[in-house]
Amino acid sequence: MITSRLLLFILLAIFTSCSSNSKEKQETIHANNEKSIKKVSIKEIEEGIKAYIDKETQQHDGYFLINDTERNLKLKLVRVHTEYLSNLGPNSHFACVDLADEKGDVYDVDFFLEGEPGNMTVTETSLHKLNGKPFYTWKQVVDKTWRRVPVETASSDLLGVIEGRDEFEFYYHAKIPVIKESAKVWIPIAQSDEYQDIEIIFMQIPGNHKFLEEEVFKNKILYIELGPDQSSEELEIKYRVQRKEKGPYEAIQPIDQIYLEPNILMPIGGQFSEIANEVIKGKENDSKLIQARALYDYIIDNMRYMKFGDYGRGDAVYACDSKTGNCTEFHSFFISLARSIGIPARFSIGASIPSDRDEGGMDGYHCWAEFYAEGKWWPIDISEGNKYTALATYYFGRHPANRIELSRGRDLRVSPSPASGPINFLAYPLMELGDEMAYPLTTFSFVRKN
């Protein structure tokens, strides 16, 4: 299917090339144009629009300004959509650019330019999308010309996303396996923060238990000691959750050095430095926001979401080598790349609540990440952006309201500690039967309250 933007380019090209009265006249004009006009390359268009934005940014205290009848925006460059750069005719060009405002909202802006390399002038600027949702599309009218028409129901394009706020009950259920001697279990307990209001409305916990606080990331963890009498018993925690959509938010300074250091399964340097530096080649002097977007796009373009092989451990080396995995591999790979070039990044895990129904089960846990740039933490969800490419812009800087965070961070250290050492990450129960690991059957379900 041809997109409206690509269709516009094709039609403009057709209108330009078909203006002659005869094929012979067309060929003559074409031959003359070849002699007098050098075709502008896509690279030159990219350099032209970046130079224009950079010049305007320097003149306005570090911001690119867009003022229209509805809004006055102060923006910073995120990326140039090189896939949409186009020649519309001799000395006439098109560019599409992502720019973020002071709140972190990302605008897709269309630019029309005229001129030769090194001397391009912007003739028209229009706001096309906000966080992936279009303000307008293109439509052919009676006189066969093309006009912008408003998109009235843009939010329906955001598959799986609930914006604003969501409210639901979340049920965490696990069945204890057969225990011959003794067992220990560690389970995350969701906590309230600025974006989620958590209330525990019911707990059924077998055995002896207590609550632990993990020191580095301040996770709350339920610790249980079990014996043979608790074999096949059930554990259940019911939460009432009010959650709001998460966008870029101000960071508390200074940024903890731990977000630039390696983890057991998220190393830095070596091949990660090599890949990251190659990805940002030509952008070394650009902002960390632009560099992070380049890493985000690299993973979307090069990884496949696939639950096969040694997936699900958040192993950045495995992700780098196989270019496959689930959400843990996607975000671990990003974090290793980001930290390797000095971009602080961190990991969280919980569950994504279905948006297309109001109750039932869900497909296990889900994880995501954040990175630091421009004085803010930017939420990202690369695996969702990979699965639904139309949402790639939304998930760069947004987490929807329909999710719950259970824990954050990697290599969690608590006391009592698992014999296996620091906890890689915590969503499902971590259980030890003597010296062996066990995996209780765990299910998540929900009932929406809106």
Neighbour tally for 418: CB within 10 Å: 18
CA distance 200 to 383: 29
Structure confidence at residue 23 (pLDDT): 41
- For the segment 228-244, what is each residue's pLDDT rounded down to a tens digit? 999 999 999 999 999 99
Can you give the pTM of this predicted structure?
Answer: 0.83
- For the segment 140-179, what is each residue's pLDDT rounded down to a tens digit? 667 666 667 776 544 444 678 999 999 999 999 999 999 9
DSSP H helical ranges for 227-266: none
DSSP string, 336-380: HHHHHTT--EEEEEEEEPPSS-SEEE--S-EEEEEEEETTEEEEE
CA 394 from centre of chain? 7
- For the segment 29-55, what is each residue's pLDDT rounded down to a tens digit? 344 444 445 678 888 898 999 999 999
Neighbour tally for 390: CB within 10 Å: 13
Map out the domains of the chain with their CATH numbers: 4-157 (no CATH), 162-450 (3.10.620.30)
Better-predicted residue by pLDDT, 70 or 217: 217
Structure tokens at 394: 């939304």
The CA distances from residue 290 to 282, 344, 370, 421, 430, in Å, are: 11, 14, 15, 37, 38
Residue 7 has pLDDT above 50, yes or no: no
CA distance 184 to 1: 54
Structure tokens at 312: 């699900």
Structure confidence at residue 15 (pLDDT): 38
416 secondary structure, DSSP code: S
